Amino acid sequence: MKTLRLALIALLSLAWLLPAQAQNTRMYNTVKTKLAAGEQVVGGTVDTPDPEIYCAMANSGFDFIWIEMQHSSLNYTDVARMIWACRDAPAVPFIRIPNATEGDIQKATDIGALGLIVPMVDTAEKMEQAVHFAKYPPEGRRSQGGGQYGRLWGNDYRQTWNDNLMVIAMVETLIGVEASAEIAGVDGVDAVFVASGDLASFSGKRQGDPDYEALVDKIKSDTESEGKIVGGPSAWIQEREGYQFFQGPSTGSLIRIGTRVALEEADPCRFLPSGATPVAGENPCP
């Protein structure tokens, strides 16, 4: 009888603990936790299918990798192999999907993306659909299909996914700017990204022009008013305050930068005209 009573007490204690444990969701999206702590995050841009290049980027110090599927020939098989090749890398995989279709979102999440970057957002309805397709019921209608996501992020992936997912809206057009408050206000949208180059293309204005800056200021103000994260190009890290989520350089840009730095370290005169001085007080270049 005493044994039965002790067993009953143990079961009741376990039942009491279960709700508390369920609230302590395991977080594996380190970008989301860093942003919640007020930190800035930067993602290197990858648009090539070479897993070795992806791994070099994912282990180089970036917080996440911006996998570029809107403006590249990458397919989901390419990207699945890349993510799997460096599944233990510190930088977590985010994908700029071609569009916010149910198929694109299902495939991107099935192969292991923890963040979805949605391009060309002009309306709140587009982001409502994106969130709906990306989250499991009851918050959305993501299907439990196959894929490598469980092997990447653990057996509790289904239970933790809705809390770990990040959804970013890119505002690129004048229509999107006008709707930026409604876009940022969509439940499930974590950040709004100011697409600086496309904003210049669609407005016909350059950075520094008052009309261009007014567009940028509106997106930022509307996003902050909704309590969401503001993103932009990594060139803005030192130039503009209030931004937390940044797109870093592409692999091509980093190769060019790295090559120049390496050559200048080997030969300080390599890119200087004859007679110039690499460092004050040193011999001039021959």
The tokens describing 223, both together, are: 């996003």
What pLDDT was estimated at residue 7? 41
276, part of any domain: no
129, part of any domain: yes
21, part of any domain: no
255, part of any domain: yes
Where would I find the H helices in 24-137? Answer: 30-36, 51-58, 76-85, 102-110, 124-134
What pLDDT was estimated at residue 80? 98
Pairing of strands 115-118, 41-46: unpaired
What pLDDT was estimated at residue 13? 33
In the chain (286 residues long), the average pLDDT of successive 10-residue segments reads 38 34 73 97 97 97 98 97 97 98 98 98 98 97 93 95 98 98 98 97 96 98 98 96 96 92 92 89 88
What pLDDT was estimated at residue 279? 87
274, part of any domain: no
What pLDDT was estimated at residue 124? 98
The answer to whether residues 82 and 67 touch, using CB atoms and an 8 Å cutoff, is yes
Question: 3-class DSSP state for residue 115?
Answer: strand
Task: Identify the active-site residue in 71, 151, 158, 206.
Answer: 71
Gap between the Cα atoms of 191 and 92, Å rounded: 17
The boundaries of the domain holding residue 253 are 28-263
Q: Given CA atoms 217, 218, 223, 226 in this order, what sign does their dihedral have?
A: positive
What pLDDT was estimated at residue 100? 97
146, part of any domain: yes
The answer to whether residues 88 and 68 touch, using CB atoms and an 8 Å cutoff, is no
CATH at residue 163 = 3.20.20.60
Tell me, yes or no, if 71 is annotated catalytic.
Answer: yes
Structurally, the chain folds into a number of domains equal to 1
17, part of any domain: no
98, part of any domain: yes
The answer to whether residues 159 and 147 touch, using CB atoms and an 8 Å cutoff, is no
Gap between the Cα atoms of 46 and 53, Å rounded: 8
The tokens describing 275, both together, are: 């007679």
